Structure 1
Amino acid sequence: MLDLLSTTPRPVAGDEKGPRDLLTEILLGLRLDGVEYGRCVMQAPWAIDFPAQRSARFHFVASGGCWLRTPSRDWVRLNPGDAVLVPRGSAHTLASAPEVPAVDIALLGRVPVSDNIYLVDGHGARGTQAVAALDVATPSDVMFCGTMRFNLDPLHPLIAMMPEVMLAGELAQRDPTVPALLEAMEREVSLDRIGACGIMARLADVLAASIIRAWVECGCSTSSGWVAAVRCPRIGKVIAAIHADPERDWTVPMLADLMGASRSRFAEAFTRTMGESPAKYVAKIKMFQARRWIADDGMRIAVAADRLGYDSEASFSRAFKRIIGHAPSASRGGQAWARTAALHSSRISSASSRQ
């Protein structure tokens, strides 16, 4: 598991800039870990659909090349040495050429290499000529793909405001760590040494973290909304407290005291900056925490309701469904989340198109 911004510089004694940036405080708690990885050796023509999922996806093009498309983005060419992170696990397609009919990734078999690493076996797929082999006579498109999990809900404000797709090449010039890691992955692939897949998996974790750090430090610095609010010394202090302790029974008077303002001035300033009332924001963060407990930890709904201060499981379930879009019990499966994520992604795309 990686501390996403563990290498972020920390203020030193005597630093005239004052307390650490509150956004950094929140980001220091953002972690991710690799769930599984696969080495894919594909022979054209081929195309694979990756359906929406709760976890992020990562792709590194080792050799050959491919095309990438998402519902809101037209085909983009990926060349050898390119890497892409899909932070919210949005649906997307990879193909040797845009016109090739795609096959769902679930139809491709897997040959296990270790506990969380596999080779793609495409012999059973229809509509592609994917080949699971590490040494083929004809030119191949070789990719290293992975699934990663954040310790934040995919609809958390920070994750939600990330681009649908994050291309390493677009951030490489802003962060020297990114091209260095890409080069390390290319070398590891070309050497094809024992244990290469395991090393590639660890490099992929670090590269994904570096991509997000580069975006946070360079790409979203001018963003409005949530990031701007967090960086506001007064509102940011309140947001940081809510995220640090979502189980606490936060009230408007408590939050107003944190900001150092009257209840009315605090509520007006918070709503104007965030676009929603303090009570709604607190409830949303609580439900994000609850969904992680239920989906990832298998926590009972009654226990989650009690920990978050709800008087009954029924009232908690009503609040959960109102905010998340489905009943708490549905969080134990993936289909309800996929529908919610798709709806949320469409809202983000619509909002972006209006800006």
Structure 2
Amino acid sequence: MHDHSSGLAPLPREPLPSRPSDLLSQILLGLRLDGVEYGRCVMRPPWAVAFPATPEARFHFVARGTAWLRTPGSEWLALHAGDAVLLPRGVFHVLASSPQEPAVDIDSLTRTPVADNIYLVGEAPAAGGEPLGPTGDVMFCGTMRFNLDPLHPLLAMMPDVMRANELALRDPSVPALLEAMEREVALERIGACGMLARLADVLAASIIRAWVECACSDASGWIAAMQCPRIGKVIAAIHAAPERDWSVPALAGLMGASRSSFAEAFTRTVGESPAKYVARVRMFQARRWIEREGMRVAVAATRLGYDSEASFSRAFKRVVGLPPAAVRHPRRATTA
């Protein structure tokens, strides 16, 4: 299926800046969300839909009516027209017209294709290919893919549910995007679903940016490390060039400290040793090469400086939990 980019494509690498806020921006430069699939859903109450857990992120925009959202670890959350939520780790969740309704699986609903990756769910298209006027609750739901590894510390820190309205005060672009999506739904013009898909990509990226800015005001862990001028500089360098041989002396030199004081400060701030952090980032990069670019395991091992494919595979499995061959996309595996 054709992917839609959010527009946050990686930029050319530049010398690492020195201010903490710029250091965090350097890490986020490569962040991108690709729209995998979207559905315009018309649900006539009473209704309830279960969304199974998925490696991709989930996005929901309530265009008209109301909905209730619940994840396994939360209470019911009321959503109103104009609300949008992002579930960055794609946890199992239920959307319903009321909390009492029994849920059916989203894949059991009728799907009518509109474009390569856009569907009408629970409704029939008009003659021109656009949906008929809604007579129930209307939502625009999407599945999105991060270019970040699922084990990346930024993704791991995100909450299960990120609500746009709660972050709107932090980023003025969020309410503007919500209003634009509402207008597209209200006007029901030709091509509205395609416009909504692109707006959803940008809105999801804006939600993440606003959350990062909010988190930075009361930061701990990885974001706190990025705010530290000395530790942040080291982390930015690791992410900018994970294939380098980042020894503890080399990283200590970047920080301008002795090996022992650097290792103690890094572990205290980040929550793990420099060696373990470097190993994780290197395997993030390797999984992206293998899974998304179809790189051969032996080539990835060589690029990361491993003496043999076997030693690389052991390190990969230790971090990722799977051997390298298990993460290769089936279609890429046959053509690599």
Common fold by TM > 0.5: yes
In 1, the alpha carbon distance for the partners of 2:65 and 2:309 equals 54
- Offset from partner CA, 1:28-47 (integer Å, 9 cap, x none): 22122222211111122222
Instruction: Name the % identity.
Output: 73
Aligned with 1:176 (options 172, 175, 181): 172
In 2, the alpha carbon distance for the partners of 1:80 and 1:66 equals 9
Alpha carbons 1:4, 1:213 under 8 Å: kept: no
- Offset from partner CA, 1:148-205 (integer Å, 9 cap, x none): 2222112211111111110011112232211111111111101000011111111111
In 1, the alpha carbon distance for the partners of 2:73 and 2:48 equals 18
Alpha carbons 1:42, 1:142 under 8 Å: kept: yes
- How many angstroms does 1:293 deviate by? 2.1
In 1, the alpha carbon distance for the partners of 2:236 and 2:242 equals 10
Q: Per the alignment, in what secondary structure is the counterpart of residue 218 of structure 2?
A: coil
- How many angstroms does 1:299 deviate by? 2.4
User: Aligned Cα RMSD in Å?
Assistant: 2.2
In 1, the alpha carbon distance for the partners of 2:149 and 2:40 equals 27
In 1, the alpha carbon distance for the partners of 2:215 and 2:124 equals 37
In 2, the alpha carbon distance for the partners of 1:316 and 1:50 equals 36
- How many angstroms does 1:103 deviate by? 2.1
1:294 matched to 2:290? The reply is: yes
Who is 1:2 aligned against?
6
Who is 1:135 aligned against?
132
- How many angstroms does 1:259 deviate by? 0.7
Q: Per the alignment, in what secondary structure is the counterpart of residue 85 of structure 1?
A: strand
Who is 1:164 aligned against?
160
Please, which runs of 5 or more residues in structure 2 have no aligned partner? 11-17, 126-130, 331-336
Q: Give aligned pairs, total.
A: 314
In 2, the alpha carbon distance for the partners of 1:108 and 1:309 equals 49
Map 1:1-355 onto structure 2 (within 5 A).
1-4=5-8, 21-120=22-121, 122=122, 131-132=123-124, 134-135=131-132, 139-332=135-328
- How many angstroms does 1:22 deviate by? 0.7
Residues 257 and 284 of structure 1: CA distance in aligned 2, closer, same or farther (over 3 Å): same
Residues 58 and 232 of structure 1: CA distance in aligned 2, closer, same or farther (over 3 Å): same
Alpha carbons 1:5, 1:27 under 8 Å: kept: no
1:154 alignment partner AA: P
Q: Per the alignment, in what secondary structure is the counterpart of residue 99 of structure 2?
A: coil
Residues 51 and 238 of structure 1: CA distance in aligned 2, closer, same or farther (over 3 Å): same
Which stretch shows the higher mean deviation, 180-189 or 99-108? 99-108
- Offset from partner CA, 1:64-112 (integer Å, 9 cap, x none): 1211111111110111110001112222111122222222223334211
In 1, the alpha carbon distance for the partners of 2:270 and 2:169 equals 32
Alpha carbons 2:37, 2:143 under 8 Å: kept: yes
1:199 alignment partner AA: M
In 1, the alpha carbon distance for the partners of 2:46 and 2:281 equals 45
Alpha carbons 1:3, 1:30 under 8 Å: kept: no
Who is 1:342 aligned against?
none
Q: Per the alignment, in what secondary structure is the counterpart of residue 54 of structure 2?
A: coil
In 1, the alpha carbon distance for the partners of 2:20 and 2:216 equals 21
1:2 alignment partner AA: S
- How many angstroms does 1:5 deviate by? 9.8
- How many angstroms does 1:3 deviate by? 4.6
- How many angstroms does 1:269 deviate by? 1.2
Please, which runs of 5 or more residues in structure 1 have no aligned partner? 7-16, 123-130, 335-355
Who is 1:128 aligned against?
none
2:301 alignment partner AA: A
Residues 25 and 136 of structure 1: CA distance in aligned 2, closer, same or farther (over 3 Å): closer
In 2, the alpha carbon distance for the partners of 1:107 and 1:291 equals 32
Q: Per the alignment, in what secondary structure is the counterpart of residue 88 of structure 1?
A: coil
1:56 alignment partner AA: A
TM-score (norm 1): 0.83
Which stretch shows the higher mean deviation, 72-81 or 92-101? 92-101
Residues 221 and 272 of structure 1: CA distance in aligned 2, closer, same or farther (over 3 Å): same
1:64 alignment partner AA: G
- How many angstroms does 1:333 deviate by? 6.5
- How many angstroms does 1:308 deviate by? 1.7
In 2, the alpha carbon distance for the partners of 1:263 and 1:221 equals 30
Residues 107 and 86 of structure 1: CA distance in aligned 2, closer, same or farther (over 3 Å): same
Q: Per the alignment, in what secondary structure is the counterpart of residue 101 of structure 2?
A: coil
Q: Per the alignment, in what secondary structure is the counterpart of residue 74 of structure 1?
A: coil
